[in-house]
Structure 1
Amino acid sequence: VSWVMEYANFGFASNDGQRSWQADRRPGQTVAVAEWRQDDPGIAPAGDVYGGGSPTGNVYYENGALGDAWRGTFFAAEPGRNVIFAYQPEQEGAGFRLDRRDFMTSNPEGKWAGSDFLGGTNSVTAEISTLFRPSDIAVGPDGALYVSDWIDPRVGGHQDLDDATSGAIYRVAPKGFVSKAPAFDPSTLEGLVTALRSPAVNVRAIGFEGLKARGNAAVAAVAGLLDDPNAYIRGRAMFLLYQLGPEGQKRAGAPDTQREPSMRIAAYRAMRRANLDVTTVAVTLARDADPGVRREVALSMRDQPERVALPILADVARRFDGADRSHLEALGTGATGKEGALYDVLHRELGAADPLAWSDAFAWIAWRLHVPAAADALALRAQAPRLTVDQRRRAMDALAFIDSRAASSAMVDLASSAPGPLREAATWWVLNRLSNDWADHGLLPTLKTRGIYDPEAVTLQSAVTPEPDPSLPTIAVGDVLALDGQAARGQDVVVRCTMCHAIQGAGAEVGPALDGWALGKSNEVIATAILQPDAEIAHGYGGTTIRTTDGLTIQGLLIKEGDPLMIRSMGGVTQIVPENRVSARERMSRSLMMSAAQLGLTAQDVADLIAFLRTR
Structure 2
Amino acid sequence: MRQFLHRLSRNLLIAMLLFSACQPRQEKKAAKQTVILTEAQLRQPAHATEGLKVRDGLEATLFASEPMITNPTNMDIDAKGRVWITEAYNYRNQLNPDHPYKQEGDRILILEDLNGDGAADTAKVFYQDTSINAALGICVLGNRVIVSCSPNVFVFTDTDGDDKADKKEVLFTGIGGVQHDHAIHAFIFGPDGKLYFNFGNMGDSLLDKEGKIVKDPQGNIVANKGQPYRQGMVFRCNPDGSSLEVLGHNFRNNYEVAVDAFGTLWQSDNDDDGNRGVRINYVMEYGNYGYTDEMTGAGWQARRINLEDSIPYRHWHLNDPGVVPNLLQTGSGSPTGMVVYEGSLLPEIFHNQMIHGEPGHNVVRSYPVKKHGAGYTATIENIVESGQDKWFRPSDVGVAPDGSLFIADWYDPGVGGHQVGDLDKGRIYRIAPEGNAYKVKAPEIRGSHDAIKALKSPNPATRYLGWTWLHAQGTDAEKPLKNLFTDENPRFRARALWLLSKLLGRGMDYVRQAIADDDEDIRITAIRAARQLQADVAPLLASLAEDPSPQVRREVLIALRHNKSPQMPALWAQLASRYDARDRWYLEALGISADNNWNACFTAWLKLTGNQWNTPAGRDIIWRARTSAALPLLSQIINDPAASPLQNLRFFRALDFYPVSESTPVLLGLLKGNHPQQNLVNALAFTMLDEQRLEINASVRNALHNSLGAVKGRQEFVDLVQQYKIPGQDEELLELAVADKGELSSYAMKTLLDGGGRPLVERKMKKDTASASALVKVIGANQDKPSRELLQNVILSQYTLPVRITATRMLGSSWNGFDQLWKLVEDKKLPMDLDTTAKAVLINSWRQDVKAKAVAYYEPGKVGNTNLPPIARLVEMKGDAVSGKKIYATYCASCHIAGNSGVNFGPALTEIGSKLDKTAIYDAIINPDAGISFGYEGVLLKLKDGSSMLGYIAGETKEEVELKMAGGSGAKIKKADILSRKAYEHSLMPTGLASAVSGQELADLVTYLGTLKK
By the TM > 0.5 criterion, same fold?
yes
C-alpha distance in 2, partners of 1:207/1:577?
56
Which residue is 2:423 aligned to? 163
Which residue is 2:410 aligned to? 150
User: What secondary structure is seen at the aligned counterpart in 1 of 2:523?
Assistant: helix
Which residue is 1:114 aligned to? none
Q: What's the CA shift string for 1:199-222, capped at 9, x where partnerless?
A: 011210111111000001111111
C-alpha distance in 2, partners of 1:212/1:543?
55
Which residue is 2:625 aligned to? 369
Cα deviation, residue 366, structure 1: 0.8
C-alpha distance in 1, partners of 2:902/2:679?
22
Report the AA paired with residue 22 of structure 1.
Answer: Q
Q: What's the CA shift string for 1:71-113, capped at 9, x where partnerless?
A: 1211121111212231111111111112223332216xxxxxx
Match of 1:289 among 523, 533, 548: 548
C-alpha distance in 2, partners of 1:456/1:99?
50
CA change 1:133–1:383 in 2 (3 A) is: same
Which residue is 1:89 aligned to? 369
Whether the 8 Å contact between 1:145 and 1:172 is mirrored in structure 2 is yes
C-alpha distance in 2, partners of 1:195/1:442?
66
Match of 1:79 among 355, 359, 376: 359
What are the within-5 Å matches in structure 2 for residues 412-491 of structure 1? 418=677, 425-430=684-689, 434=690, 442-443=693-694, 445=696, 450-451=703-704, 452-453=720-721, 455-458=724-727, 459-460=729-730, 461-462=733-734, 463-464=737-738, 465=740
CA change 1:64–1:415 in 2 (3 A) is: farther
Match of 1:272 among 506, 509, 531: 531
Cα deviation, residue 157, structure 1: 4.4
Whether the 8 Å contact between 2:545 and 2:574 is mirrored in structure 1 is yes
User: What secondary structure is seen at the aligned counterpart in 2 of 1:186?
Assistant: coil
User: What secondary structure is seen at the aligned counterpart in 1 of 2:288?
Assistant: coil
CA change 1:383–1:141 in 2 (3 A) is: same
2:572 aligned with 1:313: yes
Match of 1:229 among 474, 488, 491: 488
Cα deviation, residue 13, structure 1: 2.4
C-alpha distance in 1, partners of 2:327/2:527?
24
Whether the 8 Å contact between 2:500 and 2:507 is mirrored in structure 1 is yes
2:292 aligned with 1:13: yes
C-alpha distance in 2, partners of 1:559/1:184?
52
Cα deviation, residue 145, structure 1: 0.7
C-alpha distance in 2, partners of 1:161/1:260?
50
Whether the 8 Å contact between 1:31 and 1:540 is mirrored in structure 2 is no
2:685 aligned with 1:324: no
Whether the 8 Å contact between 1:147 and 1:169 is mirrored in structure 2 is yes
Report the AA paired with residue 397 of structure 1.
Answer: R
Q: What's the CA shift string for 1:266-315, capped at 9, x where partnerless?
A: 11212222334322221111221111111111111112126131122112
Cα deviation, residue 428, structure 1: 4.5
Cα deviation, residue 390, structure 1: 6.8
Cα deviation, residue 26, structure 1: 4.1
What are the within-5 Å matches in structure 2 for residues 196-207 of structure 1? 196-207=455-466
C-alpha distance in 1, partners of 2:571/2:281?
27
Report the AA paired with residue 298 of structure 2.
Answer: R
Cα deviation, residue 38, structure 1: 1.1
CA change 1:346–1:253 in 2 (3 A) is: closer
Which residue is 1:70 aligned to? 350
Match of 1:542 among 891, 903, 907: 903
C-alpha distance in 2, partners of 1:89/1:193?
28
Q: What's the CA shift string for 1:319-373, capped at 9, x where partnerless?
A: 11111111111111111111112111212322528xxx70111111111114222
Match of 1:132 among 361, 367, 392: 392
CA change 1:27–1:261 in 2 (3 A) is: closer
Cα deviation, residue 419, structure 1: 6.3
Cα deviation, residue 387, structure 1: 2.6
Which residue is 1:48 aligned to? 328
C-alpha distance in 2, partners of 1:28/1:588?
29
Q: What's the CA shift string for 1:196-251, capped at 9, x where partnerless?
A: 01101121011111100000111111122123232211111111111123446545
Percent sequence identity is 29
Cα deviation, residue 19, structure 1: 1.6
Going by fraction, where is strand more abundant, 1 or 2?
Answer: 2
User: What secondary structure is seen at the aligned counterpart in 2 of 1:245?
Assistant: coil
User: What secondary structure is seen at the aligned counterpart in 1 of 2:287?
Assistant: coil
C-alpha distance in 1, partners of 2:450/2:641?
70
C-alpha distance in 1, partners of 2:410/2:649?
47
Which residue is 1:520 aligned to? none
Report the AA paired with residue 334 of structure 2.
Answer: S
Q: What's the CA shift string for 1:121-148, capped at 9, x where partnerless?
A: xxxxxxx643111111111112101111
Root-mean-square deviation over aligned CA pairs: 4.0
What are the within-5 Å matches in structure 2 for residues 181-260 of structure 1? 181-247=440-506, 250=509, 254-260=513-519
CA change 1:415–1:104 in 2 (3 A) is: farther
CA change 1:380–1:537 in 2 (3 A) is: farther
Which residue is 2:638 aligned to? 382
In the alignment, structure 2 segments of 5+ residues that lack a partner are 1-279, 705-719, 741-770, 775-880, 906-944, 946-953, 965-969, 975-987, 991-1014
C-alpha distance in 2, partners of 1:266/1:537?
46
C-alpha distance in 1, partners of 2:419/2:519?
49
C-alpha distance in 2, partners of 1:341/1:175?
60
Match of 1:34 among 304, 310, 314: 314
2:277 aligned with 1:2: no
What are the within-5 Å matches in structure 2 for residues 481-520 of structure 1? none
Of the structure 1 ranges 410-419 and 239-248, higher mean CA displacement relative to structure 2 is found in 410-419
User: What secondary structure is seen at the aligned counterpart in 2 of 1:177?
Assistant: coil
C-alpha distance in 2, partners of 1:388/1:560?
33
Report the AA paired with residue 224 of structure 1.
Answer: N
Whether the 8 Å contact between 2:370 and 2:378 is mirrored in structure 1 is yes
- TM-score (ref. length: structure 1): 0.68
C-alpha distance in 2, partners of 1:129/1:428?
53
C-alpha distance in 1, partners of 2:303/2:373?
29
C-alpha distance in 2, partners of 1:265/1:226?
15
In the alignment, structure 1 segments of 5+ residues that lack a partner are 108-127, 469-523, 550-557, 568-574, 580-586, 590-616
CA change 1:144–1:564 in 2 (3 A) is: closer
Q: What's the CA shift string for 1:160-193, capped at 9, x where partnerless?
A: 11132x1111111111212223542223212111
CA change 1:188–1:294 in 2 (3 A) is: same
Cα deviation, residue 69, structure 1: 3.5
Which residue is 1:393 aligned to? 649
User: What secondary structure is seen at the aligned counterpart in 1 of 2:302?
Assistant: helix
User: What secondary structure is seen at the aligned counterpart in 1 of 2:318?
Assistant: coil
Which residue is 1:101 aligned to? 381
User: What secondary structure is seen at the aligned counterpart in 1 of 2:566?
Assistant: helix
Report the AA paired with residue 63 of structure 1.
Answer: G
C-alpha distance in 1, partners of 2:656/2:453?
55
C-alpha distance in 1, partners of 2:296/2:639?
31
Whether the 8 Å contact between 1:184 and 1:194 is mirrored in structure 2 is no
C-alpha distance in 2, partners of 1:73/1:132?
23
Cα deviation, residue 36, structure 1: 1.1
C-alpha distance in 1, partners of 2:971/2:416?
36
CA change 1:157–1:563 in 2 (3 A) is: closer
2:337 aligned with 1:60: no
CA change 1:201–1:420 in 2 (3 A) is: farther
C-alpha distance in 2, partners of 1:296/1:160?
43
Report the AA paired with residue 415 of structure 2.
Answer: V
